[in-house]
Amino acid sequence: MGAAAYVGRIGGLAVALGVGSAVFAGQGVAWADDTDSTASGTSSAATSQGDTTGDRKPTTKADRAAADESDDTAQDAEVDGDDKVDGDDEDPQVDSPADEAVDEDRTGTETDEDSDAQEDPAPEPAAPTGEAAPAGDPDVQPAVEPGAGEVAKTTKATATAGDDPAIPPRAAETVTVATQVSTALVPQQDDEASTATAPTTTTSTTKPNLISAIVNVVNSMIDWAHQKADTQPGDAPQPPFLWALMAFARRELDNLFAARTTNAPRSSAVAPTSLALTDAATAAATAAANSPWFNPQVSASTRFIDWVTGPYANTVGRFQIYGTDLGIMWDNGIVDNPATPEIEKRQILIAVGDSFGLPGMQGRHIYNTLFRSSDRDLSDGMTIPDGEWFNGNMFGGAPLDGATRARPIINRPSWLPGSVTLIPTAGVSVVTPDDPLAKFGVTQYVSFMSVTKWGQAGRWTTNYSAVAYSYDNGENFVVAPQSVRYNSFLSGNRNFQQSAYVKGGDGYVYVYGTPNGRQGAAYLARVAEENILDVSKYEYYKKASSGWFGSTTPARWVKGSPSSASAIIGKSGGLFGFTKPGYTVSEMSVQYNEYLKKYVVLYGDQANRIVMRTSDTPEGVWSDATVLMNQQTGGIYAPMLHPWSPSTEGTGSKLYWNLSLWSDYNIMLMETDLSKL
């Protein structure tokens, strides 16, 4: 490769970097040396219209690693034909109406657009699109009010018409600036930066000394990108061209190094000279490519990691699940058996809500299902293995009723009232070595709600909540009659229609309850682990109160009286409490955090922000709400904590949690660095 070719490539890079700097920094940046050679390099920007499936993410981490070695010059990934599903409308639900449709009026959280909707910068290149957004939400429609003027900008699906989930979203026709970003030099957080090594040779042939110059240019641009990506809560999304620019720079550098190696004399020993991407850098590149938002770093502390369900996670081809939500997680508590190393018995179980086989909440509909994962390295996403069909293995990726079809885990018993759907809201495992029916010495419990009607934004009606149990790692569940809480206005059970579980380490399971919908506060009950199925054995926390003549009644636990429970989280703050973060509580998750040495709760509030509170004890007093991320384009809800987060286990400051996105109607994994709060 001659000097002119090098100068040509550098010219192309200089043009791209210069234009990018001028567009986004507001001024031009020039580099000069003592040479007078000039040439223009050319590059082509790939453009494509969004389809209904989008690029598929490698299914496992091994696949991702293999994919990272592929040709960086490829522009658009072919959609794997195996990921396509046929229109199977069969509904395996038992004792429920066939093909029961979810109410199209079902809506989610209303949002204050002035304080929460992210404002778009000036018109800029639109992000790539993939699938059409769902037409109706079977659990939520958190939204920006009509007229907010949100510009469609998700990588897979986008809600239009002001991003109001009450209006059926339409697929936005957009053009991607650059699609090859899997190995792009993208901004990294903390110590997760890529490193560059200048190429060296042992030959006496002198080549134009421009490689180091271009590396310096790119490094300076990366430093600038770091600063641009250091967002704060409420900041506008970063321009997509920034990521495209970094992708182009990375690709051109790799081409330079490859050409340099290819054209070197055979007798010369060429040292490896490519930019070495660390695992963290590769994960960040994947996040940038798959993120539903322009910048995966959604706040100073919190960032998008990867998808857990949907086309990018290939739950379509493997489980016939195109869209689902919630993603409640708990440790199954099963001890690994060294005699069967091929089976990872210790797993995270992930209960999800209404699931559909086709885009737009169409095709086969099941009330719920369950996924499993043994993945402990969450920095690059959470891997769900393939299913195990008809071989007796109860540790596959999901319970199945076909070779590649997930099935519901909880169906409506004939002795309970009818439902539009049955949605899991909490899960926990309890060691039960004395129960001969527990195959692995552990029983799994899932609390769920029976929805009878979807109403306005953030409102729905339940007729009861109940608990189902499983003896076989979630493969089969049975609803316990003694666990049913009928939703009556005259009963305190109305405050326990949705739940969150946490084990207190004192023999009790603590149960946080909220009313149906998203307008309530959180209440607390506890029960001995062995009595979790019997609501008559529950005790309810009543806060201390003051009497008429200065007397004080201390806080206490009241057995068998759910109406005695006090609101311990939310609905506080006085006359203007509703203006503060965390006022209402919806879809909460609780666990003890070793890093903080406190209990942690995550939930969505009245403005559809994701907030966190902490407490020394399960009952509180709970801290003021800290906002982890504001409402995002597409509508976010249901933050569900991962039990194997480093901060939870005391091995680091990172907290991982699932988050649902309405416009995509799928679950993604998020990361919060608690050291940055």
Q: What is the pLDDT of residues 521-534, one digit of tens each?
A: 999 999 999 999 99
Q: Is the pLDDT of residue 535 over 70?
A: yes
Cα–Cα distance for residue pair 434/437, rounded to 1 Å: 9
Using alpha carbons, select from 480, 459, 485 the residue that is nearest to residue 538. Answer: 485
pLDDT of residue 213: 56
Which range, of 36-40, 360-364, 664-668, averages the lowest pLDDT? 36-40
Cα–Cα distance for residue pair 19/377, rounded to 1 Å: 38
Examine residue 42 and state whether it is found in any structural domain, yes or no: no
Q: What is the pLDDT of residues 55-75, one digit of tens each?
A: 434 444 445 444 444 444 444
Cα–Cα distance for residue pair 113/143, rounded to 1 Å: 9
Query: How many separate domains does the chain show?
Result: 1
In this prediction, residue 314 has a pLDDT band, given cuts at 50, 70 and 90, of very high
Q: What is the pLDDT of residues 478-487, one digit of tens each?
A: 999 999 999 9
pLDDT of residue 218: 54
Cα–Cα distance for residue pair 157/53, rounded to 1 Å: 9
pLDDT of residue 212: 56
Examine residue 153 and state whether it is found in any structural domain, yes or no: no
Cα–Cα distance for residue pair 420/138, rounded to 1 Å: 9
Provide mean pLDDT across the span 345-350: 96
pLDDT of residue 336: 87
The larger pLDDT score, comparing residue 226 to residue 308, is at 308
In this prediction, residue 211 has a pLDDT band, given cuts at 50, 70 and 90, of low
H and E: helices and strands count for the chain:
7, 28
- Is there a contact between 445 and 474 (Cβ–Cβ < 8 Å)? no
Q: Is the pLDDT of residue 226 over 80?
A: no
- Is there a contact between 520 and 603 (Cβ–Cβ < 8 Å)? no
Examine residue 383 and state whether it is found in any structural domain, yes or no: yes
Cα–Cα distance for residue pair 425/410, rounded to 1 Å: 12
In this prediction, residue 215 has a pLDDT band, given cuts at 50, 70 and 90, of low
Residue 636: give its domain's CATH number. Answer: 2.115.10.20
Examine residue 407 and state whether it is found in any structural domain, yes or no: yes
Q: What is the pLDDT of residues 81-110, one digit of tens each?
A: 444 334 444 444 544 433 444 444 444 444
pLDDT of residue 214: 59
Structure tokens at 669: 């994994």
Q: Report in angstroms the alpha-carbon separations of 616 from 28, 619, 676.
A: 53, 8, 20
Provide mean pLDDT across the span 13-32: 46
pLDDT of residue 285: 86
Q: Is the pLDDT of residue 152 over 70?
A: no
Q: What is the pLDDT of residues 563-609, one digit of tens each?
A: 999 999 999 988 899 999 999 999 999 999 999 999 999 999 999 99
In this prediction, residue 172 has a pLDDT band, given cuts at 50, 70 and 90, of very low
pLDDT of residue 261: 40
In this prediction, residue 209 has a pLDDT band, given cuts at 50, 70 and 90, of low
Q: Is the pLDDT of residue 244 over 50?
A: no
Q: Is the pLDDT of residue 171 over 80?
A: no
- Mean of the per-residue pLDDT values for the chain? 74
* Torsions phi, psi for 364 (to 5 deg): -60, 130
SS3 label, residue 40: coil
Which range, of 136-145, 250-259, 605-614, 648-657, averages the lowest pLDDT? 136-145
Structure tokens at 481: 């009659």
Q: Is the pLDDT of residue 235 over 60?
A: no
Share of the chain above pLDDT 70, in %: 59
pTM above 0.85, yes or no: no
pLDDT of residue 338: 84
- Is there a contact between 451 and 466 (Cβ–Cβ < 8 Å)? no
Q: What is the pLDDT of residues 380-426, one digit of tens each?
A: 999 999 999 999 999 999 999 999 999 999 999 999 999 999 999 99
pLDDT of residue 220: 54
Structure tokens at 213: 């110059």
Task: List, in order, residues 6 or more apart from 534 with CB less than 8 Å away.
Answer: 482, 483, 527
Examine residue 227 and state whether it is found in any structural domain, yes or no: no
Examine residue 56 and state whether it is found in any structural domain, yes or no: no
Structure tokens at 46: 């790939």
Examine residue 654 and state whether it is found in any structural domain, yes or no: yes
Examine residue 279 and state whether it is found in any structural domain, yes or no: no
The range of the structural domain enclosing residue 585 comes to: 289-676
In this prediction, residue 219 has a pLDDT band, given cuts at 50, 70 and 90, of low
CA angle 3, 253, 74 (to 5 degrees): 115
Which range, of 254-263, 393-402, 414-423, 633-642, averages the lowest pLDDT? 254-263
Cα–Cα distance for residue pair 57/290, rounded to 1 Å: 8
